[in-house]
Amino acid sequence: MMSWLPARSGLGLLLWTALVLMVVACSRESSPEAEVRALLARAQTAAAERDVRTLRGLIADDYADALGHDRKAMENLIRLHVLSHQSVHLFVRVRSVEFPEPGRALASVAVAMAGRPVARADELAGLSADLYRFDLEWVRYGRDDWKVRQAAWQPAHLDDFW
């Protein structure tokens, strides 16, 4: 018997049950969409912190896009961007995350890159910022390892952020 649990009126059993339920709830695997959204947030933080290592870690070894870039070319583009911008403030709007098949996600993300922090989409109207829309293909390699296998980007418009 666990002596640290109060024995009065079943309170001990109630507390024990609540504790078990909390542990089970916290240990459940997150949904694939939550995992991809968390990786998008991680990429946003890494880009803002100029963390090339983390960004490189999100690129799949078999990365290839329509412009002919492979993993190495994407790593070089990331390095070039970090070297040419001393500080970058990102405002990111995840437009959609879809799963055409298990283990494969398509995410559309609007990104504003500005020289100062942006907290809301309506602040973009009077701001000089680079606006892009990224369409990313995320693939799950192994149990929990999502990586970007393909990306396309194009200029975005203000309405992409609403």
pLDDT single digits (tens) 91-134: 999 999 999 999 999 999 999 988 888 888 988 988 888 899 99
Of 133, 47, 128, 60, nearest in space to 90 by CA? 47
Confidence grade of residue 2 (pLDDT, cut at 50, 70, 90): very low
pLDDT single digits (tens) 52-89: 999 999 999 999 999 999 999 999 999 998 888 777 78
State which H helix or E strand residue 48 sits in: helix 32-48
**DSSP one-letter code for 51:** -
Quick check: pTM over 0.85?
no
3-class DSSP assignment, residue 89? strand
Chain CA centroid to CA 20, Å: 30
* pLDDT value of position 29: 53
Pair 141, 107: CB distance under 8 Å: no
pLDDT at 20 over 70: no
Of 131, 54, 120, 48, nearest in space to 85 by CA? 48
- CA-angle at 125, arms to 124 and 131, nearest 5°: 50
* pLDDT value of position 88: 79
Of 148, 121, 151, nearest in space to 39 by CA? 148
Pair 39, 58: CB distance under 8 Å: yes
